[in-house]
Structure 1
Amino acid sequence: MKIGAAVGDGPLTSDSGHMTVLDREFDSVAAENAMKWDAVEPTRGSFNWAAADRLVAHASAHNQGVRGHTLAWVSLPVPGANRRRYGRDVETRGAVNSVAW
């Protein structure tokens, strides 16, 4: 059984104590925010994988598994992303429900 923890880019890049405990106690990590839609595509058509790549590189170096982030959060519009794509914020619940069922 894998035991995991969420990891933010801040601790990953600047908190060695945090990372020491993470590397010693956990064999799986999940991106806290680095793999969320607005972090990966901060502006339409412009992708930034730097934080996600740092997490995956760290996990790989420490033989840890990696979990990504949910593609669509059930009742929370993706901040700004829907506005960029559709000219307004769009609730994702309907999309999630139609995919899930």
Structure 2
Amino acid sequence: MSRILHTVNKSASAPALDLAKCALAENDALLFIENGVNAIIENSLSAKALEPLSQNHSLYCLKADIQARGLSRMVPEWVQVIDYDGFVQLTEQHTKTLSWF
């Protein structure tokens, strides 16, 4: 079975986020990087829309991008914060990577 790592690198207002959500299949993961981390800020509209996805999918954000934006205390508990090594592991665990801009 093909497993896809979806990466979102733009803010929550970008249509890429909606497209990524629609494209998620079983065993896929969603990783927020660069400005995409703004989508998972606790209690934001986009985070509230994303939270149900955490029931069936793994959601991640890149620690360096969270820290660079001063958002370390604003990451919901249902999002896993990973470092660059974790990012590499995700790419190894998934057969494909799809970037949403």
TM-score (norm 1): 0.37
Bigger Cα Rg: 1
What is the TM-score normalised by the length of structure 2?
A: 0.37
